[in-house]
Structure 1
Amino acid sequence: MSAVTDTVRAVQPGGAIGQSVRDSLVVAKRNLIRMSRIPEMVIFGLIQPIMFVVLFTYVFGGSIDIPGAPEGSAGPYREFLMAGIFAQTVTFATAGAGAGIADDMHKGLIDRFRSLPMARGAVLTGRTLADLVQTALTLVVLAVVALLIGWRTHESMGKVLAGFGLLLLLGYAFSWIGALIGLSVRTPEAATSGGLIWLFPLTFISNAFVPVKGMPTFLQHIAEWNPFSATVAAARQLFGNTVANQPKSLTGAWPMEQPVLASILWAVLIIVVFRTLAVRKYRSATA
C-alpha cells in the first residue's frame, strides 16, 4: 500500500504541499455537505450564543457598570459585551470539532481515509476548515442579532472586518485543540464534555463579560494574560467599542497594551503547537 501511495503522489502536480491542500479541501467539502444535510447542527449552534446575548444584555446589563461610561446605562455594556460573545461563540465551536472527529474515529471513517492515497494531516485540516466556515456563518447571524438589540461599531468597515477576522483566527486555533481532544477520547460524548469543561474558566476569567477591575488582583493577572482576553480586547479596539480615557491594562500586561498583535501571536502559537500534537496523535491512533 505504501508503494502504491508513493507512486500516486508522485504523479500528482504541485508536489506534497499541493497534494495536501487538495486533500484538505476535499475533506472540507465533504464535511460542509454533511452539515448542509443536517441543518439542525447549525440551528442549535446559533441558539446558545443568541441566548447569551439576550440574557447578558437584558438581565445583567443594567447592573454591570463599565468604567468611564454613564452609570446604569445599558448602551455601553452592549458594546462592551458583544466582542466577548463573539469570541465565546467561536471558541465554543471547539466542542463540536472534537465531537465530529471522535465520531468519525468511532465509526471507522478515519480508517477509510487512511486507506486512500492522501496526506495524513488533510483529514484534520479539512475538518477544521469546515468548522471555520460554519463558525463564520454563525458570526454573521449573531452580528445581525447584535445590531437589532442596539450594538454599533464606530470604526471603518476595514477595521470591523479585521476584528471579525481575528475572532475567526482564534476559533480556528481552538479547533485544533478540539481536534486533539477528539482524537484522545473514545466517544463523541466524551469529546463534547472534554471540549467544554476547560472553556468555561477560560472564557469567564477574562475581560469578555465584566471589567477586569472588579476581580481579585491575582485573577486580574490571569485574565489579562489570557489569550481569549487578548482577542476580545483586539476586537473591541477594531470595532471602536472601547471606553475613552480608560487604561488598557490594570496590571501592565503586554497583551492588553498591544491586543491586536498579541491575539495574532497567541493564535499562531496555538495552531503550531496543537496542530503538531493532533497530527502526531492521528498518525499513532490509526497506525
Structure 2
Amino acid sequence: MDASPNFRETRFDDVTVLASSHGGAFPHGNTVMVTGSQARLVIDPSLDVDHDPVGADAVMISHAHEDHIAGLRHFTCEKYAHHADVAGVRSLQVLLDGYGLTPAERLAVDEQIGDQFALPDGFPEAIGVGDGHTFDLGDVRATVIHLPGHTAGHCGVLIEPAGFLYVADIDLSSFGPMYGDVGSSVDEYLTSIETVRAIDARWYGTFHQKGVIEGSAEFRRRLDDYAEVILRREQRLLEFLDRPRTVPDIVAHRLVYRPHVDLPFVDAVERRTAQLHLERLVAHEQVIETDDGVFVLT
C-alpha cells in the first residue's frame, strides 16, 4: 500500500482506516478499506485520498454528500450507493438539489464545492443497492445497513468476521446530528441511532471526528450524548416559541450553528432543521401553525 502524508493507516483485523491527518473535520474524513481473500472494498474515499491505495474492486458511498465522494475520481472500479442517494452520486447537480437551496445559496455552495473538492459533474456509472446488500470479499463480508435520517439513503456497513461497524455520519461529534437536507428526517435519524445501538461490534468507525471507538459500551455511551443533542435543539425551539414565531425568525435564532458561523449553506440547514422540528411538534400537538405561517405553543 502506498504511503501518503494525508492520512495515517490503522489496522483493525481485515479493516484498515485511513485516518485523516486533519482530524476528520469537514471537509476531510476517515476512509475505510476492507481486504478479503478475493476482493477489496473501499468505503467513502475522502478528500485526503488522492489515489487508489489498494487496487479496489468496489467502492461503497455511504451517502451523497461531496465530502464522501471527494476521492472517488481516483477509482476505476464499480461504485455503489443506496438507491435513495445514488442519483446524487451520479450527478453533482442532483446532489445540490438535495440541499434545498435558494438560487443565491446554490450558486455560493456550488462555487465552494468547486474550490474545495474539484469534483467532476458526477459518476453516472454508480450502481444503486438496498439495505442488506452484501459485498462478498472471500473470507470477509461487508453488509450495507440503511440508516436514513442524515439523508434518505445514508448507510452504514457491517464488516464480518472482524466485527467492525462503520456508521458514516452518525459521527458522535459534540456538534450533534445533521439533518438539514430535503431528504432528512429527525424521526428516521432517531430510529437509525437505535438501529446501530442494537448492533454488537468490536469496533465502530465514523467518517468525521471520532474515528474508531472500541467496544459497544463506550460506543453506546457516546451515542446517548449524541442523540441528546436532537432533544436539546427541540427544547431550545420550544423555549424560543415563548411568543409567536415564523420560520425565518427561527432560522435567524439558529438551532444548529452558532451565530458567528458564516457559510453559504447555513441558512438552508437551519431552515430545514426548523421545519423538521416544527413538524414533529405539530404532530405531537405541542405547537400549532396559524393560517399565516406563524407557529405558537398550544
Pairwise TM-score range, normalised by the shorter structure = under 0.3
Larger helix percent: 1
Higher relative contact order (CA 8 A, sep 6+): 1
TM-score, normalisation: structure 1? 0.25
TM-score, normalisation: structure 2? 0.24
Q: Highest CA radius of gyration, 1 or 2?
A: 1
